Copies of this chain bind each other. A is one copy, B any other.
């Protein structure tokens, strides 16, 4: 395993951790100010959300690179299925391509995919996962042409109905197997998979298809399954064991901290959040 105590350059900030992905949330920092704050602290990478870079993806990407910050990824492709997705398939496919274009303009490596939940008129996740597979397969070659990798992110089963019919690493890899494209892989987020005793086996299966690794923690008495994620060390996830499995699979890329926390971290000074994030990364991850 890499030694983050001595070198935290693998640390990446997902701007959601500062509340930036919520309208009216966060401290009002611009992407540029956030980049500068990362650079000052030796944070090596950053992940933006689409609404932050809309219309000026190339400029934001260039600014980050000039500051020595790698643009790790973009959040995220549109919901493909379920109650939160557009019910017009062409709209979904068009927006998916726009997200790929933005990822390329930003100069980011990876576009994250959150699938959306169970399709209207169906029961269980199976048929929705089939629809997801068709959308991602259709987008894969377009993404390859833009040098963009697509990372399917399994979400916690609590989101199974509305936000993600894709809830296990096993299911995500099954889709990757079906699509069988070099630029289609998975993103592993501790919040979503910490409970899964099959994870180590699935990560061994995944090998180089792990395109992203997201850090946070699961608070045992969570008050909100969407907006009460924990800072690393404050919860019950075995972060170090999961990192060992992720790195054992061959992953040596950025470790992205993504914490939705409406009532705690989003209320604090972003500078303080970043300082604590660095300290926790070095000591508990």
Select one of B118, B160, B194, B197 contacting A171, CB under 8 A.
B197
Select one of B122, B125, B156, B161 contacting A157, CB under 8 A.
B156
- Chain B nearest CB from A162 CB (Å) reads 5
Select one of B117, B124, B194, B221 contacting A124, CB under 8 A.
B194
- How many angstroms between the C-alpha atoms of A225 and B238 in the bound complex? 23
- Check B239 against A123 for contact (C-beta < 8 Å): yes
Task: Tell me which residues across on chain B come within 8 A of A250, comparing CB atoms.
Answer: none
Q: Given A117-B220, A118-B220, A197-B171: A124 and B237 within 8 A (CB)?
A: yes
- How many angstroms between the C-alpha atoms of A3 and B179 in the bound complex? 40
Q: Given A158-B157, A195-B160: A123 and B237 within 8 A (CB)?
A: yes
Select one of B161, B222, B239 contacting A161, CB under 8 A.
B222
User: A236 at the A/B interface (Cβ < 8 Å)?
Assistant: yes
User: A126 at the A/B interface (Cβ < 8 Å)?
Assistant: yes
- Check B238 against A161 for contact (C-beta < 8 Å): no
User: A218 at the A/B interface (Cβ < 8 Å)?
Assistant: yes
- Check B195 against A125 for contact (C-beta < 8 Å): yes
- Check A197 against B126 for contact (C-beta < 8 Å): yes
A233's nearest neighbour on chain B, judged by CB, is: B123
User: A235 at the A/B interface (Cβ < 8 Å)?
Assistant: yes
- Copies of this protein, total: 2
- Check A220 against B83 for contact (C-beta < 8 Å): yes
Query: 0/1 per residue, A139-178, Cβ < 8 Å to B?
Result: 0000000000000000011101110000110110010000
A83's nearest neighbour on chain B, judged by CB, is: B220
- Check A123 against B156 for contact (C-beta < 8 Å): no
User: A219 at the A/B interface (Cβ < 8 Å)?
Assistant: yes
Determine chain A's interface SS by DSSP, over half rule.
loop
- Chain B nearest CB from A7 CB (Å) reads 23
Query: 0/1 per residue, A112-126, Cβ < 8 Å to B?
Result: 000001100011111
- Chain B nearest CB from A178 CB (Å) reads 13
Listed from nearest, the 7 A-B pairs whose CB atoms lie closest are: A161-B220, A124-B238, A123-B238, A160-B195, A118-B236, A158-B158, A157-B195
Contacts from A to B (Cβ < 8 Å):
82-83, 117-118, 122-126, 129, 156-158, 160-162, 167-168, 170-171, 174, 194-198, 218-222, 225, 235-241
Identify 22 residue pairs between A and B in the complex whose beta-carbon atoms are under 8 Å apart, listed by A's number: A82-B220, A117-B220, A118-B220, A123-B238, A123-B240, A123-B241, A124-B194, A124-B236, A124-B238, A125-B195, A126-B197, A126-B238, A129-B197, A158-B225, A160-B194, A160-B218, A161-B218, A162-B221, A167-B195, A168-B197, A174-B197, A225-B225
